[in-house]
């Protein structure tokens, strides 16, 4: 089984939000619901002033606190290592939202359940690539199998030393960032 992840090169992100809307459509989300966010960070003063755009989404943690606290077991990890929510058993207690240190979960009030990035697993299983990856004009995201040392993502991580966000939190994320 592959173990999927995404590598993100934030030095290429232009904050265009295409990934956000592509994801909303792929997953049929309302305009005010999203599975990914573009945050920005300023540093320094001109002439060394800089601004970085950082795309955020669920990290599909191997040691996922959201899954640990979920009373119903609605949050589970798929065979490909993708952390998913079963909408049929989720009760909407929101405990997982509190537990996620990255705050990458949202509540869908229409269905009364919690949702999050699904790594477009249904698309991926059909041989596709996640919507946020394909639409990105500057190819910020690289999707692939972390267990395959020859995959584009593994090579990218090996070459650039890309790191997860806040690895010290101990959740073992599968989204890696190259930030400078």
Partner 1 sequence: MQQSAWGWLIITYLFLAGAGSGAFIAAVACDLLAPDWSKALARAGSLVAGPLVIIGTLCLVFDLEAGFWQPWRQFYMIGNLRSMISWGVIILSIFIPLALLYAAALNEITFVGKLAQKYVTAIEIIGSLFAIATATYTGVLIAVVNGVPFWNTPLMPVLFLASAISTGLAAAMIVAAIIDVKTIKTLSNFALGHVIFLSVEGLVLMLFVFMSLTRSTEAALSASGLISGTLSPYFWGLVVILGLVVPFILSVFEFLEYGKMPKSLVVGADLLVLMGGMSLRALIIFSGTPPQII
Partner 2 sequence: MDNSGITRRKFIIGSAIGGASLVASNYLNLESWATTEESTQDLKVTPTLCDGCGNWCAIKVYTRGKRIWKAEGIPIAGNNLGRICAKGHGLLHEVYNKDRIKSPLKRTGPNKFEPISWEQAYREIGQRVQEIKKEHGPESFFWLQFPEGNAGLCSRFMNALGSPNVFSHATTCFLPRNIGWWLTIGSAKPEHDLEHTRFAIFLGRNIAAGLRLRALSDLSKAKDRGARFVVVDPRFSELASFAHQYVQIRPGTDLALMLAIANTLIAEKLYQKDFVDKYSQGFDELAQKVKGYTTEWAEQKTGIPRGVIGKLAHDLAESAPQAFIHRGYHGALGTQYKNSLQLVRAVACVNGLLGNFNQRGGMFFHPEVKLGRLDPQKFPKTPELGDSMVDGSGASDRYPITPVGLGLSQAIPELALEGKLKAGFVYHNNPLRTCPNPARVIEGYRKLDLLVSFDYILSETASLAHYILPESYYLERDDVVHTNHCFNSKQVAIRQAVIEPLYDTKPMVVILIELAKSLGIGNYFNFTLEEYNQAALAPFGITLERLKQEGVIDLGGKWEPGPPQFKTPSGKFEFVSSTLQDLNLPAVPEWEEPLVVPDQSDIHSFRLIHGKQAHHTHAKTINQEYLKEISLLNDMTRVWIHPERAKALGIKDGDCMTISNSVGKGRARALVTDGIHRDCVFLPSSYGVYSRNLRTAFGFGISYNDFLPTYFDPVLGHCMSNEIIVRVEKTPA
Q: Is 30 in the site for partner 1 (CB under 8 A)?
A: no
2 is written with which tokens? 């592959």
Figure out which of the listed residues 39, 50, 137, 139 binds partner 1, where binding follows CB under 8 A: 39
Contact map string, positions 16 to 55, toward partner 2, x by CB under 8 A: xxx-xxx-xxx-x--xx-----x---x-xxxx-xxxxx--
Q: What b-and-e string marks burial along 48-82, b requiring 16 or more CB atoms within 10 Å of the CB? A: eeeeebbbbbbbbbeebbbbeebeeebbeeeebbb
Binding partner selected for residue 2 from partner 2, ligand SF4, partner 1, none, CB under the kind-specific 5 to 8 Å limit: none
Binding partner selected for residue 78 from partner 2, partner 1, ligand SF4, none, CB under the kind-specific 5 to 8 Å limit: partner 2
Figure out which of the listed residues 7, 22, 74, 157 binds partner 1, where binding follows CB under 8 A: 74
Distance, CA of 113 to CA of 115 (rounded, Å): 6
Distance, CA of 139 to CA of 158 (rounded, Å): 18
> What proportions of the chain, in percent to the nearest 5, are helix, strand and coil?
25, 25, 50
Sign of the Cα pseudo-torsion (150, 153, 157, 160, in order): positive
- CB of 32 or CB of 168, closer to partner 2: 32
Q: Is 97 in the site for partner 1 (CB under 8 A)?
A: yes
Distance, CA of 139 to CA of 173 (rounded, Å): 21
Binding site residues, partner 2, CB under 8 A: 11-18, 20-22, 24-26, 28, 31-32, 38, 42, 44-47, 49-53, 72-73, 76-79, 84-89, 118, 121-122, 131, 134-139
């Amino acid at each position: 089984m592959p173990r999927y992840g995404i590598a993100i090169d934030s030095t290429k992100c232009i904050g265009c939000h295409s990934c956000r809307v592509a994801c909303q459509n792929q997953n049929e989300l309302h305009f005010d619901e999203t599975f990914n966010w573009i945050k920005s960070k300023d540093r320094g003063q001109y002439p060394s002033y800089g601004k970085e755009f950082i795309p955020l989404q669920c990290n599909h943690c191997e040691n996922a606190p959201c899954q640990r606290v979920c009373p119903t077991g609605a949050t589970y990890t798929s065979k490909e290592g993708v952390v998913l929510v079963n909408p049929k058993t989720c009760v909407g207690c929101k405990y997982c939202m509190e537990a996620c240190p990255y705050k990458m979960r949202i509540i869908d009030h229409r269905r009364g359940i919690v949702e999050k990035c699904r790594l477009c697993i249904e698309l991926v299983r059909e041989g596709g690539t996640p919507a946020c990856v394909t639409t990105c004009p500057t190819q910020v995201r690289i999707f692939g199998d972390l267990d395959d040392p020859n995959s584009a993502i593994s090579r990218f991580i090996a070459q650039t030393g890309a790191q997860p966000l806040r690895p010290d939190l101990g959740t073992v994320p599968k989204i890696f960032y190259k930030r400078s």
